[in-house]
């Protein structure tokens, strides 16, 4: 019974990894479609490019969050060793850093400066 549960949880982790990769690929595809559509419609390719970068970042960010969740779930089914926990910690650390960097790039400011930026912009619509 316990082995069946581990097999299902492992399958769930694999499915979540696949879904995370799909979110990244789908986010890039959708961002590209929006970029071309907005660039043709408005004729402002520079503005469309800024939105494109932000939308790609959002897709990657969401995919990374799902991949971190899948890594955590897959660790549950693996035998806990110092090496496996260290590997998970390294993966989570790298992906967290990437998420932080992407979020900073999308927002255009450090997370702790976000409230001040929104106050100076008067709650203006973000990219």
Structural domain including 105 reads 2-121
Assigned domain for 55 exists: yes
User: Does residue 2 have a pLDDT over 80?
Assistant: no
Total domain count for the chain?
Answer: 1
User: Which tens digit of pLDDT belongs to each residue from 48-61?
Assistant: 998 999 899 899 98
d(CA 99, CA 102): 5
Assigned domain for 127 exists: no
User: Does residue 13 have a pLDDT over 80?
Assistant: yes
Assigned domain for 126 exists: no
pLDDT tier, 127 (very low <50, low <70, confident <90, very high otherwise):
very low
Assigned domain for 108 exists: yes
Burial (Cβ within 10 Å: 0-12, 13-18, ≥19) of residue 70: buried
Packed helices 82-107 and 45-77: angle between N→C axes, nearest 10 degrees = 160
Token pair for residue 101?
């960097």
Averaged confidence pLDDT in the chain: 86
| Range 14-37 average pLDDT | 96
Q: Answer whether 24's CB lies under 8 Å from 63's CB.
A: yes
| Range 76-102 average pLDDT | 83
């Amino acid at each position: 019974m316990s082995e069946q549960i581990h097999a299902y949880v492992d399958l769930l982790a694999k499915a979540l990894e696949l879904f995370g990769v799909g979110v990244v690929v789908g986010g890039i595809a959708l961002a590209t479609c929006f970029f071309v559509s907005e660039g043709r419609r408005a004729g402002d390719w520079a503005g469309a490019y800024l939105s494109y970068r932000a939308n790609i970042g959002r897709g990657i960010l969401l995919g990374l969050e799902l991949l971190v969740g899948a890594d955590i779930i897959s660790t549950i089914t693996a035998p806990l060793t110092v090496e496996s926990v260290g590997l998970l910690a390294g993966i989570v650390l790298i992906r967290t850093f990437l998420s932080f960097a992407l979020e900073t790039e999308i927002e255009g400011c450090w997370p702790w400066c976000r409230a001040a930026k929104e106050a100076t912009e008067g709650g203006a619509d973000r990219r």
